[in-house]
Amino acid sequence: MKIRIVAGGPPNLIPELKVYNNSSDVIWIGVDRGTFVLLLQGIKPSYAFGDFDSVSEAEKNAILQSHVTLNLYQSEKDYTDMELAFNWAIAQDPDEILLFGATGGRLDHEMMNIQLLYKGLSSNATIKVIDDKNELSLKKPGTYTVNENNSFSYFSFLAFNQEVTGITLEGFKYPLKNASLQIGSSLCISNELVKKSGTYSFASGIILMVKSRD
């Protein structure tokens, strides 16, 4: 099962979603105005979560007429609409969760949405935050391969905890060997592949992997 969650971030940062409707087991979830975003892109979500305080009356009527399964919440609550949808998604034990419309708006919400990657780190799912310019994911210690991709030119690695140790980059323009990466350090920002593929590995800590394009 693959779950796609769409929030109501800035429209210019939300990619063409039908590209990700690439499997028969994809489930689409709308978060507040993200539900209307899905309908605009010709995708009927299976579920919607939120208080729907960010939609107009006409947009809300369109959502209701789509007969999506609504999970309605009060505006004043302990969790964001995105986290409520994410919690539901994690509980389904999917293979993959992709978050769209999660960046580019209010900075507090954007930072919280990125932190949801940490919440899902112990699950079996591959989890990514995706917008029109970036793809973000969290990695636990291990060895990973990055292949040349026309969609992304830059590869950045940020410490998501106090320190990442033993980080090694091979096949990149700026290689590293058994280095340490501290939180707040820009040591591994904007790297590029010099081969068809590269590898990165580290011994301890958590890395935020960011693929980007201008």
Contact 21, 6 (CB under 8 A): no
- Give the pLDDT band (50/70/90) at residue 56: confident
Contact 143, 191 (CB under 8 A): no
Is 90 exceeded by the pLDDT of residue 190? yes
pLDDT at 70: 82
Q: Which amino acid is at 23?
A: S
Helix (H) or strand (E) holding 207: strand 207-212
pLDDT at 22: 83
Lowest mean pLDDT among 6-15, 84-93, 144-153, 192-201: 144-153
Q: What is the mean pLDDT of residues 25-30?
A: 96
Cβ neighbors of 10 (< 8 A, separation 6 or more) are 104, 105
Dihedral sign for Cα atoms in the order 131, 136, 137, 138:
negative
Is 90 exceeded by the pLDDT of residue 65? no
Domains of the chain: 2-132 (3.40.50.10240), 138-212 (2.60.120.320)
